[in-house]
Amino acid sequence: MTDLHFCILKDGDPYFLVPTKQLGFYGQDDWKVNNRLTVNLGLRWDRDFNWFGSSDITKSRSYQSLLAIASVNPIAAYNTRHIAQDDTKDFSPRIGFAYDLTGRGKHVLRGGFGLYFGNTFQNVPLFMEQLANPTIFQTVLSLSAPTDTLPCGGTLGSFSYTPTNIAAQEACLPGPSSAAADGSVGRLMDPNFRNPVSEEFNVGYSWALNNNSVFEAEYTHVLSLHEDKTINIDQKVVTGTDASGTACTSPGLPNGCNMNFGNAILTRPLSADFAAAGQPVLASLRSDESINRSRYDGINLSFRQRMSHHFSLTANYTLGWAYGYNGGGGPTTIFRNYARDGYFPFASYEWGPSANDERHHITVAGLVNLPKGFQFAPILQFGTARPYNLTNSYNTINAGGGTAAAVVVPNNDRKNYTYGTDYINSYVAAAVSNGANPDHATAAAQGFIATCYYTAQCTIAKYDPLRGQAFFELDAKFAKNFKFGERVNIQLVAQAFNLTNRANYGNNFGDNIASSTLGHPTGFFAPNATFIPRSIWGEFGVHFTF
């Protein structure tokens, strides 16, 4: 602890080791029913061992605290009714077929259906497992404001930075503890937790136009079930409203001005029972539940021509829809997917396009063999704008942690995404001009926005309501081949990316309604690529084969 201007100190044992094992069997067979029809049948069975950290759950302090109040609290009783156990019935049948419509290989119909079980990301049970260690890895000191209290007394603002004083403060720090601290975050695995699974169906048609080219059309449907979602089971609930009728001309007295109605009073449903049982009173208790879902539907049209008359071509068009609950199906699905209101994880506003939802995508690529060993290979990509979500700089509905920041909008103007920010800014400016404390005025205005939601006069904005920028990129490669005999070839390569010098921002736009970057580009984007050209980019190389 060398700098007390800002300090976060953790103590305890962060170690975790999960002795997991996996076992799987798979069988498949092709059955040629006749000269036109071939059927493929398969079955897979997977068995995981201790994949959810089941051996640590009963030792986890969060579980033990819940168990201590289970006889008096229904939330605790429900979440300790049994222990999450590994799946034993993950059977995955698959079936596919290919049917030659004419018997000449020119028109082929194909399709398939299957179940596909996945694994639980090991970061999901990790924090619960750390709470099962002999000592708890947790924050024991957090200093950031001049008024913060030091371990030995006094405040950060009055502290004299000398080696002796720092050593004295360190000596007052508590040692590692076997109990969770008041105000810490609890972690739990839901008793019914299970592996994610997807149902996949596809049907397609291919037409061999001639010996060198083929046209294909395909429809794909994927329904993903039992994806991870983290729910704060101790999220604050409304216990009443401040009906004091405080005039709007004195917003700082008390902390919360009664505009059209009083500010909602919120309490945690587990806190009183935790305190009565001598258990740590947690800031939130987050349970990982396998309840989320998402879906994808896509139609793909493609044309392929292999090298013929010194020319080959591939062209693809995809019409797709990727939707889920608050990011379902996207990168947040496997770990820490939070709802905006944990009591309503499947509210209509939670359902929306995932971050990779792209309604139309076109790819055209070709290769031309030119005289004297030259080659030219362009590739063009176009994709319509992908969506992005909106967030806020504070927990708008004051849920108490374990939820995503919500953007509150009026019921009668649900696309007024800056409603909360505009109201707070206007309210605070007016209150301060009347002599109110700015912090009190801000808290009062924020309380009004939360109360607007809890009294059903406002709602939460739809997930991913805005779209970024369409993607367009043209790349090209120019090469010259030098052959030496039949086996040696030297190829000189010049290639360029983003020939149109387009700044592709994708859906990397400012998403915080309280920030000046809202709606402005914040980064660059390239689909399915490790290299993201920000402007025109060229490179040269040599390729030697023998």
Averaged over 411-434, what is the pLDDT?
Answer: 92
Q: How many CB atoms lie within 10 A of CB 261?
A: 16
**Structure confidence by residue, pLDDT tens digits, 274-327:** 999 999 999 899 999 999 999 999 999 999 999 888 899 999 999 999 999 987
pLDDT tier, 257 (very low <50, low <70, confident <90, very high otherwise): very low
- Distances in Å between the Cα of 344 and the Cα atoms of 18, 237, 306 are 32, 12, 53
Domain residue ranges in the chain: 235-268+403-465
Q: How many CB atoms lie within 10 A of CB 489?
A: 15
What are phi and psi for residue 121, nearest 5 degrees? -60, 130
- Distances in Å between the Cα of 491 and the Cα atoms of 58, 143, 273, 484, 539 are 64, 61, 75, 11, 14
Looking only at the bridges linking them, the beta strands covering 360-369 and 466-467 are unpaired
pLDDT score for 6: 58
pLDDT score for 307: 85
Averaged over 488-498, what is the pLDDT?
Answer: 89
Residue of 352, 387, 124, 305 lying closest to 230 (CA atoms): 124
Distance between CA 538 and CA 476 in Å, rounded? Answer: 10
Dig out the tokens for 503 from the structure: 């700044």
User: Which residues, at least 6 apart from 180, have a Cβ–Cβ distance to it below 8 Å?
Assistant: 61, 62, 65, 131, 136, 138, 186, 280, 282
- The answer to whether 421 and 428 have CB atoms below 8 angstroms apart is no
**Structure confidence by residue, pLDDT tens digits, 260-272:** 345 667 889 999 9
Looking only at the bridges linking them, the beta strands covering 185-189 and 284-308 are parallel
pLDDT top residue among 504 and 113 = 113
Distance between CA 509 and CA 521 in Å, rounded? Answer: 4
Residue of 344, 348, 349, 351 lying closest to 325 (CA atoms): 351
Q: Which residues of 12-137 form beta strands (DSSP E)?
A: 21-32, 37-49, 90-100, 107-117
**Structure confidence by residue, pLDDT tens digits, 185-210:** 899 999 999 999 999 999 999 999 99
Distance between CA 375 and CA 513 in Å, rounded? Answer: 50
- The answer to whether 94 and 114 have CB atoms below 8 angstroms apart is yes
The answer, yes or no, to whether residue 243 has pLDDT greater than 90, is: no
User: Which residues, at least 6 apart from 3, have a Cβ–Cβ distance to it below 8 Å?
Assistant: none
- The answer to whether 357 and 386 have CB atoms below 8 angstroms apart is yes
Residue 303 in 3-state DSSP?
strand
In sequence order, the β-bridge partners of residue 252 are none
In sequence order, the β-bridge partners of residue 311 are 308, 368
**Structure confidence by residue, pLDDT tens digits, 5-60:** 556 677 788 887 778 889 999 999 999 999 999 999 999 999 999 999 999 999 99
Q: Is 407 exposed, middle or buried (0-12, 13-18, 19+ CB in 10 A)?
A: buried
Weakest mean pLDDT among 229-243, 364-378, 501-515: 229-243
Q: Is 270 exposed, middle or buried (0-12, 13-18, 19+ CB in 10 A)?
A: buried
- Bond into 254 cis (ω within 30): yes
- The answer to whether 391 and 535 have CB atoms below 8 angstroms apart is no
Residue of 155, 132, 135, 152 lying closest to 143 (CA atoms): 155
Distance between CA 280 and CA 268 in Å, rounded? Answer: 13
pLDDT score for 217: 98
3-state secondary structure 212-242: CEEEEEEEEEEEEEEEEEEEECCCCEEEEEC
Distance linking the first and last C-alpha atoms of the chain: 61
Residue 528 in 3-state DSSP?
coil
Type of residue found at 332: T
The whole-model pTM stands at 0.85
pLDDT score for 248: 40
Distance between CA 1 and CA 11 in Å, rounded? Answer: 13
User: Which residues, at least 6 apart from 339, have a Cβ–Cβ distance to it below 8 Å?
Assistant: 229, 231, 325, 326, 345, 347, 350, 403, 404
Residue with tokens 């374990």: 402
Radius of gyration from C-alpha coordinates of the chain: 30
In sequence order, the β-bridge partners of residue 284 are 185
pLDDT tier, 511 (very low <50, low <70, confident <90, very high otherwise): very high
Measured on CA atoms in the order 447, 453, 459, 464, is the torsion positive or negative? positive
Helix and strand element counts for the chain (H, E): 8, 23
The answer, yes or no, to whether residue 247 has pLDDT greater than 80, is: no
Distance between CA 117 and CA 140 in Å, rounded? Answer: 41
Averaged over 241-259, what is the pLDDT?
Answer: 44
What are phi and psi for residue 327, nearest 5 degrees? 95, 5
